[in-house]
Amino acid sequence: MTQRPLGFSTRSVHGHPAPKAVWSPVAFPLYQSSTFINPVGSTDEVLYTRYGNNPNQVEIARRLAALDGAEASIFLASGMGATALAHLAVLRPGDHLLSSEWIYGGTRRLFQEEFGRLGIDVSFVNPDARRSWKQYVRKNTRAVFVETPTNPLMRVLDLDPLASLCRSEGIPLLVDATFASPLNFRPLDHGADVAIHSATKYLNGHSDVIAGAVSSSEPIVSEVKRLMQVWGQSLDPHSAWLIERGLKTLAIRVERHNANGLAFAAWAERHPAVRSVHYPGLAGHPDHAVARRTLSGFGGMVGMALKGGADGAERTLRKLQLVMHAPSLGGVETLASEPRLTSHARLTAKQRSDQGIPDGFIRVSLGIEDVEDIIADFDQALAD
């Protein structure tokens, strides 16, 4: 084997391959077992699936570390579990967390409803006001959290200046880049200390698993693992097995998601019933330049505001035949949802509109179908 670094597709299929023994299975076997026969009298770590050392859990962690360019990775039972434990691994009571305000609603709830009672204070920053990050750093600020690309406006944050601020302050930068997947963006390559994934989305890719993952240094991942063992968010072996299978096709799936996202956004931009389209691959997107510089692909997520408002969006969603009305994203099938009823349901119509998400906004997660069919479906659904 050459010393050349392996390509992304090869790492998706193999991780860092070890020579395989003859007669060993080509597909990774499923170890659907809660426990394992441990040697009598041994002081070695006990093998037990809640401890995160089931072979299916270990294999996907090894594979993700190779994709994220991380020292170590760990999978958990959900993206929320990953976000919670990644933060608890670096924060203590009395600490302050500085968070972007452009984050997933569930993460916001975690910070607002739970972190306070753990003695962790959280403040939110609008990432558009770039200079304000430093101004909000306090003596007890012990971590910074951002999400990129963001939901549902697909804003793309320039991590490099934020990473250098975090380095100079000696605090870790945690980044949820679920919307990008490691094919399009690897936060650790841009100075982040911790990458967080909802593996429910692109990593698994088939809308049949709830899972999360954290990639970072060995000490941080070990601490996440310790917390997982005592708080109990380990991933079920069958879900791990499905993710292993999903990871093998991550590269080609995401290439198709990227192509479909771009084609759909370009089509939607020209449609008379559409007021605005939010996709970082479009020249008019506010972060197009950052996206071109930092992303390997613009992704499969497209936001669009319809001229017909909430009624128009509902009419359109009811008429769709191929595209399914469902939250979540990153699966092989195209899904559409309305932020006013999902991620942004807790805000008033005015608050949403002030944030650039007026009623009538539809978020589309492009699947890997033939994009002409998705466009034709929306075309008939948007017709009067």
Ligand X SMILES: Cc1ncc(COP(=O)(O)O)c(C=O)c1O
Residue ranges that bind ligand X, judged by CB under 6 A: 78-80, 104, 106, 147, 151, 176, 178, 198, 200, 210, 212, 328
Q: How far is the CB of 365 from ligand X (least distance, A)?
A: 10
Catalytic residue, candidates 142, 201, 253, 363: 201
104 included as an active-site residue: yes
Q: Which residue is nearest to ligand X (CB)?
A: 79
Q: How far is the CB of 177 from ligand X (least distance, A)?
A: 8
Nearer to ligand X, 222 or 328 (CB): 328
Nearer to ligand X, 95 or 147 (CB): 147
Q: How far is the CB of 263 from ligand X (least distance, A)?
A: 23
Catalytic residue, candidates 68, 95, 176, 377: 176
Nearer to ligand X, 104 or 115 (CB): 104
Catalytic residue, candidates 11, 31, 63, 104: 104
176 included as an active-site residue: yes
Q: How far is the CB of 245 from ligand X (least distance, A)?
A: 18
Nearer to ligand X, 90 or 177 (CB): 177
Alpha-carbon span 73 to 67, nearest angstrom:
10
Active site residues: 50, 104, 176, 201
